[in-house]
Structure 1
Amino acid sequence: MGVDHATVGRRITALEEGLGVPLFHRSPQGYSPTDQGYKMLPLAEQLESDAMRVFDEVAGASTSLTGSVRIATHVGIASFLLAESAAALCRLHPGLEVQLLAVPRSFSMSKREADLVLTGTRPQTGRVKIKKLATYPLHIYGERNYVARNQPIKHKKDLSKLRGIGYVPDMIFDKELDYIPSVDPSLKAHLTSTSLHVQLQMALAGAGVCILPDYIARNYDTLVPVLDDAIELERELWLTVPEDFAHLTRIRTIVDFISEDVVSRIKSTNKI
C-alpha cells in the first residue's frame, strides 16, 4: 500500500469511527475481522476491483509493468521452473517486483495471500479463474552408485530392498504430493522431510531413492531412474488467479508470460 503499519492502523480506526462499528479484533497476533468486517468484505473487494480497473484503463497502454506480483507455489516448481521465469520476466520489466512464496502449505485466494497460485491440485471452489498449464512425468530416482550396489532391480517387488525417501506422511499439505501409494501402497519411506530440497539432497547423497519430477532430476547427472519403463507417475500443473483481477492488463501479461515460459521449460526437459 506504500504506507507504514501505523498509518494503516489510524485509517482503520477512522473508518470504524465513521461507520460506528468495529471491523477488526485486535490482538498481539494481529488483526482478524469481526462479523461486521466479514460483511463488509465483498463490498471492499468490489471497490478494490473497480479502482484497479480505473488504473488499468488509464495506465494499461504502457508496455512496461511496475509494482509487485506475489506468486505462491510448491518449492520444487518455484526452484526449478519459476525462478528462471521470474528472472526473465524482470529482465523484460525492470520495474516489476516478483515475490515467490514457496512454503509447504495451501494459500487462500480469498484472503489475497497471493496474486497467482500454481499447484498440482485443481481448485474446486472460489471466485477464481483456473488454467491448466501442463502435465508432467515423475519417476523414481537414485544416486548412480547407490542404485548399482542394490542391483538387480528388475521388478516392482525389488523396490522393497531400497531405502525410500519421501514426504512426512501426516504433514503432506497437497494430496497430489503423496506419491508413494501411487507406486505401491505397501512401500514406506524410511527418510522423510517436508522439504523437497532436503529429499533431493538425500537422494544425491546416496541415502535412498526418491520420486522426483523429471524436470528436477534431470538437472543432476548422478541421478538415474529406477524401473522407469515400468513405473511413471503424472501430475498436472494448474494456475489460479482471483476472478476480480484476471481481466487486468498487468495480471494478464504476467499470466501469459509465466504460462508460456513454464510450459516450455517442462516440455524441453521431457525431450531429454
Structure 2
Amino acid sequence: MDWDDMRIFLAVARADSLSAAGRRLGIDASTVGRRVLRLETALAVKLFQKTPQGYSLAPEGERLLPHAETIEAAMTGASEALSGPGGISGQVRIGAPDGCANYLLPQVCARLCAAHPGLEVQIVALPRVFNLSRREADMAIAVSRPTAGKAVIQRLTDYNLHLAAHEDYLSGHPPIRTRADLKGLRMIGYISDMIFDRELDYLAETGVERAALTSNSVSVQMQAIRAGAGVGIVHDFAIPFCPGVRRILTDEVSLTRSFWLIRHADDRSSQRMNRLAEALAQGLKAEVARLQGLVPVETEMSPAGRT
C-alpha cells in the first residue's frame, strides 16, 4: 500500500471532493481521481460514494480512515524525529477570523517563516468557525473557547475594542461625549443573522439597536469606517492600519475579547505542532501589544474638526 495514495485518500475524505482535495495537495482533480481509483483497485474495495454533494466515505472507507490517520501521525512523527529539535518545517494551514487574519497573522507569520526557512504557512481567512475534524485547517484561531468536541485548546491573548470613526465623519457632527450622542449617527456593524459567535455581537453592548451599514466581515466594516461611512466597534490593533480613524467614548464603551488556538487532539504529542503553537502564541501576543501601543490617546474634536 502506497503512503502517497493514502495521503490522497485522506485529502478526499476531509474535503468531500476531488477538486478541493487537489487544491490542498497541489495536484489536479483528475490525478486525484486516478489515485483514488488505484487505491480502491489495490484494496479491492469501494472507498467512496459519489453523491450530488461530492464524495462521501463508503463503509469500507470509514473503516480505513482511522488506520490512515494513524499512518499519517506516524509519518509526521518520523519527519519530526529526523528534522531535529530546533527548527519548524513543513506546511501548516492556519484558519482565523478575518480581523486576525488581516491585521495580525501576516506580520506574525512573516517572522515565523524568517526564523524557520523550512516552514510553509497558509492563512485561511473566513468569517465563520472552522471545522478541524474535516481538516479545513491544521490549527484554528477562534474568538471563544470551544465547549464541545475533542481538541487541544490554548488561550493566545486578550485584545481591546472601542467605538471609532474617521475624523472626516466626526468633523461633520456634534461632539460625541456620551452614548446618547450616538443617536442619529450612522452605525456600522455585523449582519445580525450572520454573527457566527456570540462574542462578535459588539453593538449589543453599546445600547445601539440597529446598524445602517453591515457586513459579515470585520475588515469590510473597518474599511467602511475608514471611508467616513459612520461609527462602529473596531479592534484597537487594526487602528494603526487606518489613518484618520480615532476612538471615541473610550471611558464608556470598552470591550475585551480573547483569541483561542484550537488544534486537533491527535496533535497533542506532536513536538512540531507544540513548538509552532507556542511560537504563534508568543508572536500574536507581542503583535497585539505592539499595535495597541500605537493607538493615540483620544482628544475631543470640535464640529469643525479642530482639537
Fold match, TM over 0.5?
yes
Runs of 4+ off more than 6 Å = none
1:191 counterpart residue number: 213
**C-alpha distance after superposition, 1:129-160 (max 9, x if no partner):** 10001111100000113223322322212212
User: Aligned partners of 1:111 and 1:134: how far apart in 2?
Assistant: 26
1:163 counterpart residue number: 186
2:165 counterpart SS class: strand
Work out whether residues 110 and 126 of structure 1, in 8 Å CA contact, stay in contact via their aligned partners in 2.
no
Q: Which runs of 5+ in 2 are unaligned?
A: 1-6, 8-24, 295-307
Q: CA deviation at 1:47?
A: 2.5
**C-alpha distance after superposition, 1:47-78 (max 9, x if no partner):** 32222223322x13164433211000011101
Between 135-144 and 26-35, the greater mean CA deviation after superposition: 26-35
TM-score normalised by the chain length of structure 1: 0.89
Structure 2 residue 162 is matched with structure 1 residue 139: yes
User: Aligned partners of 2:119 and 2:274: how far apart in 1?
Assistant: 14
**C-alpha distance after superposition, 1:176-220 (max 9, x if no partner):** 222111221x52110011222221121111110110110112433
Q: CA deviation at 1:90?
A: 1.3
User: Aligned partners of 1:259 and 1:138: how far apart in 2?
Assistant: 20
Between Structure 1 and Structure 2, how many residues are aligned?
270
Q: CA deviation at 1:235?
A: 0.9
User: Aligned partners of 2:243 and 2:74: how far apart in 1?
Assistant: 51
1:267 counterpart residue number: 289
Q: Which runs of 5+ in 1 are unaligned?
A: none
Structure showing greater relative contact order (alpha-carbon pairs closer than 8 Å, 6 or more residues apart): 1
Change (3 A) 1:10 1:95: same
1:65 counterpart SS class: coil
**C-alpha distance after superposition, 1:220-247 (max 9, x if no partner):** 3411212111111111100011121233
Q: CA deviation at 1:31?
A: 1.8
User: Aligned partners of 1:65 and 1:56: how far apart in 2?
Assistant: 9
TM-score normalised by the chain length of structure 2: 0.80
Q: CA deviation at 1:88?
A: 1.0
Pairwise CA RMSD of aligned residues? 2.2
User: Aligned partners of 1:36 and 1:105: how far apart in 2?
Assistant: 32
Q: CA deviation at 1:29?
A: 5.3
1:87 counterpart residue number: 110
Structure 2 residue 275 is matched with structure 1 residue 253: yes
2:299 counterpart residue number: none
**C-alpha distance after superposition, 1:91-134 (max 9, x if no partner):** 12223211000022221111111111011021222331100011
Structure 2 residue 258 is matched with structure 1 residue 236: yes
Code of the aligned partner of 2:205: S
1:239 counterpart SS class: strand
Work out whether residues 71 and 100 of structure 1, in 8 Å CA contact, stay in contact via their aligned partners in 2.
yes
Code of the aligned partner of 1:242: H
Work out whether residues 107 and 113 of structure 1, in 8 Å CA contact, stay in contact via their aligned partners in 2.
yes
- Which of 242, 248, 251 is 1:226 aligned to? 248
1:129 counterpart residue number: 152
Identity score, percent: 37
